[in-house]
Amino acid sequence: MHENDESPLTRKLAAFVALSDAELSVLERLHQRRRSFKVGTDLVHQGQSDRAAYILSEGWVCSYKIQPDGTRQIVDFQIPGDFLGLRSVLLRTSDHSFEPVVDIRAAEVLAADLLEAFAQTPRLATAILWAASRDEAMVVEHLVGLGRRDADARMAHFLLELGSRLALVGMGGRAGYDCPLTQYHLADALGLSAVHVNRVLRQLRERGLVTFRNGRVTFDDYAALIDLADFDPAYLDQSGPLLKW
Amino acid sequence: MHENDESPLTRKLAAFVALSDAELSVLERLHQRRRSFKVGTDLVHQGQSDRAAYILSEGWVCSYKIQPDGTRQIVDFQIPGDFLGLRSVLLRTSDHSFEPVVDIRAAEVLAADLLEAFAQTPRLATAILWAASRDEAMVVEHLVGLGRRDADARMAHFLLELGSRLALVGMGGRAGYDCPLTQYHLADALGLSAVHVNRVLRQLRERGLVTFRNGRVTFDDYAALIDLADFDPAYLDQSGPLLKW
DNA sequence: CGCCAAGTTGATTGGCATCAAGAAATGTGG
DNA sequence: CCACATTTCTTGATGCCAATCAACTTGGCG
């Protein structure tokens, strides 16, 4: 597909375990069934229906819950290399829905294939479970942000986290990254109103910290932003744990 | 220990799968190494240290994260029958700390024992993973509450959720339940100030919905409370999924 | 009996939502 | 390629929810 056939997931996992050729080819085989989804077509991932997971290879997705009163809370965003609905393959739980933020391409993974891959290559299984556990840690961090950070710090923390995640799959760095999210997405994720998101972004820009504009996030003062957000990327990188295996 | 030797965990799992005698005895064996912890003695569960999990059999625990600015966000409470640090056994992640709310009694479970139990009784493994997935769903629901519910609804939802969880292990019902939490605990869990927690509780009491007093939660108008909280216990019960196995 | 944690209540402040209205960007069909 | 429609973004004005500050009360306990 691309010049090198390295998928974002491969790239992400490789950052934490050195995968053998055999493991790489098993991983590759998981990417067989490619599918596309357009914005607007909800990936209805409601429990009972299908028991497939996806590996996102291109584009962004958000997972969310709708409240009875109509408001929406975005639980997390998925970027290339992330799993969609991994849990609902292994167990039969799927408490939230998925919606593409932009047109996406993803590989469908059947439960059987995944379990077989796990059986064949335990190290790969460990790596994937590590990724899943990292996702959980992000949800927890998100919860902490909603509970105990004000709007500025929340936004700063969010933009930094996204930057770190994207850097892992080669889609961003200290300078910034391309970001297809609208201010409404930010609002629904951060528990703010869209109007206030706009004000917060303006303020961060005017303070010379970060610029969110035209689908691009630019870090103007990385260090100061980290300071404002009290950002500690330990929960993302966890560098070390897997290397020992 | 008690009149019948049924542990809270057994009781909880039994609500979702009918466990065979063999499975029950394996479960029993996991409860061998009993330990006690007193209030104040933090269960330092910081990643690297020990790789044991606990099954809580008596008392309450909270899991939390401390922010650099000193504020605390409680991620969840554990009640009898719940696991502590299950994830950190399987993976080496432990992003938050545990602290007893009252003196507790718990069974220590070594990674090896757990894995062996899983190998022996797949159905038990499924049941335990179901419980873990339920925990995750609760964290997500908590996140939604922080992002999109006002103080009243948040409190109401929290008290209802706790009631449902306790009912599952026979420690409460529609009438109410004993609750050792302080208003500070509620504040740290709900992302509110302790002062405001007090006001919200008073208001709920005066509206005839629920009374939180002297370590006891009393539901004065269950239906109205559910209505206020938009409480849908689907994410807790998930009745059905496991029964099919 | 006196101490300390937990709970209670009032007064004041401030962060963020809401309402409202317009400007810019993006998309769409003719 | 333009006219028009629909998002998306932007900014101001106003009000409310919940934080903060400050006392005071209550209850448990050595």
pLDDT tens digit sequence for B215-234: 999 999 999 999 999 999 88
* Crossing angle (nearest 10°) for helices B21-30 and B122-148: 60
In a domain, A78, yes or no: yes
Query: Is B39's CB less than 7 Å from nucleic acid strand C?
Result: no
Answer yes or no: do B191 and A146 touch at CB < 8 A.
Answer: yes
| Other Cβ atoms within 10 Å of B179 Cβ, number | 25
Contacts of B103 (CB under 8 A, 6+ apart): B36, B37, B38, B39, B59
Question: Both A71 and A122 in a single domain?
Answer: yes
CB < 8 Å & 24+ apart, contacts of B177-185: B177/B216, B177/B217, B178/B215, B178/B216, B178/B217, B179/B212, B179/B215, B179/B216, B179/B217, B180/B59, B180/B60, B180/B101, B180/B102, B180/B215, B181/B60, B181/B77, B181/B101, B185/B62, B185/B74, B185/B77, B185/B101
- Give the rounded distance of the alpha carbon of B34 from its chain centre: 19
**Residue A81 sits in the same domain as residue A191:** no
Residue B201 Cβ < 7 Å to strand C: yes
A245: tokens are: 């295996």
Let me know if residue B1 belongs to a domain. Answer: no
Give the domain CATH number at B192: 1.10.10.10
Residues of chain A contacting residue B235, judged by C-beta atoms under 8 Å apart: 95
Write down which residue in B71, B105, B134 finishes a domain. B134
User: pLDDT digit string (tens) for B107-142?
Assistant: 999 888 888 888 888 888 888 888 888 898 899 999
Structural domain count of chain A: 2
Give the tens place of pLDDT for each residue, B166-218: 999 999 999 999 999 999 999 999 999 999 999 999 999 999 999 999 999 99
Q: What is the pLDDT of residue B2?
A: 40
Judge if B13 and B91 occupy the same domain. Answer: yes
Q: Are residues B87 and B190 in the same domain?
A: no
C-alpha to C-alpha distance for B59 and B57, rounded to whole angstroms: 7
Q: Do B142 and A143 touch (CB under 8 A)?
A: yes
Cα–chain-centroid distance for residue A104? 14
Residues 6 or more apart from B209 whose CB is under 8 A from it? B156, B219, B220, B221, B224, B225, B228
Q: Give nearest nucleotide to B197 (CA–C1').
A: D18
Residue A206 lies in a domain: yes
Of B102, B134, B166, the last residue of a domain is B134
Which residues touch A78 (CB under 8 Å, ≥6 apart)? A56, A60, A61, A62, A63, A84, A98
Q: Is residue B142 domain-resident?
A: no
B237 in a structural domain: no
Instruction: Please report, for residues A156, A195, B176, B231, the alpha-carbon distance to residue B215 in angstroms, rounded to integers and kept in the order given.
Output: 39, 42, 11, 23
Contact A98, A61 (CB under 8 A): yes
Nearest to B73 among A95, A144, A241 (CB): A144
Say how far residue A202 (Cα) sits from the centre of its chain: 25
How far: B194 CA to C9 C1' (Å)? Answer: 13
Regarding whether B82 and B12 lie in a shared domain, the answer is yes
CB-based contact B148 A73, cutoff 8 Å: yes
B120/B19 same-domain check? yes
Together in a domain, A126 and A164: no
Average pLDDT along chain A, 245 residues, taken 10 residues at a time: 68 86 91 89 59 89 91 96 82 76 93 86 86 90 97 98 95 95 98 98 97 95 96 76 42
Task: List the A83-84 sheet strands across, edge first.
Answer: A33-37, A104-110, A52-58, A83-84
Q: Does any domain span residue A83?
A: yes
Based on C-alpha coordinates, what's the Rg of chain B?
18
pLDDT band per the 50, 70, 90 thresholds, residue B143: very high
Residue A184 lies in a domain: yes
- Cα(B127)–Cα(A101) distance, rounded to whole angstroms? 35
On the question of pLDDT at B6 being above 70, the answer is: yes
CATH label of the domain that carries residue B103: 2.60.120.10
Domain end point (choices A78, A103, A134): A134
Same domain, B183 and B71: no
Q: Nearest by CB to B67, which of A68, A92, A148?
A: A148
Residue to mutate among A146, A150, A227, with most B CBs inside 10 A, is: A146
| Beta-carbon separation of A65 and B144 below 8 A | yes
- Can you read off the two tokens belonging to residue A74? 């975005």
Cβ contact A66:A72 at 8 Å: yes
| Residue B13: Cβ within 10 Å count | 25
Distance of CA B209 to the CA centre of its chain: 23
How many other CB atoms are found less than 10 A from the CB of residue B105?
A: 15
pLDDT at residue B95 greater than cutoff 90: no
Same domain? For B109 and B48 the reply is: yes
> In this structure, are B53 and B124 located in the same domain?
yes
Report how far apart the first and last C-alpha atoms of chain B are (Å, whole number).
31
Å separating the CA of residue A196 from the C1' of nucleotide C21: 16
For B212, the domain range is 150-229
Mean pLDDT of the residues in chain B: 88
Domain-embedded: residue B110:
yes
Amino acid at A180: P
At B9, the pLDDT band (50, 70, 90 cuts) reads: very high
Predicted pLDDT at A76: 97
Q: Which amino acid is at A108?
A: E
- Same domain, residue pair B128 and B154: no
Q: CA–CA separation, B101 vs B92, rounded Å?
A: 25
**Average confidence (pLDDT) over B67-87:** 92
DSSP class of residue B172 equals B
Q: Do A77 and A164 fall into the same domain? A: no
The per-residue pLDDT for range B157-169, each reduced to its tens digit, is 999 999 999 999 9
Instruction: Give the number of C-alpha atoms closer than 13 A to the C-alpha of residue A192, restricted to the C-beta side.
Output: 24
Other beta carbons within 10 Å of B74 = 25
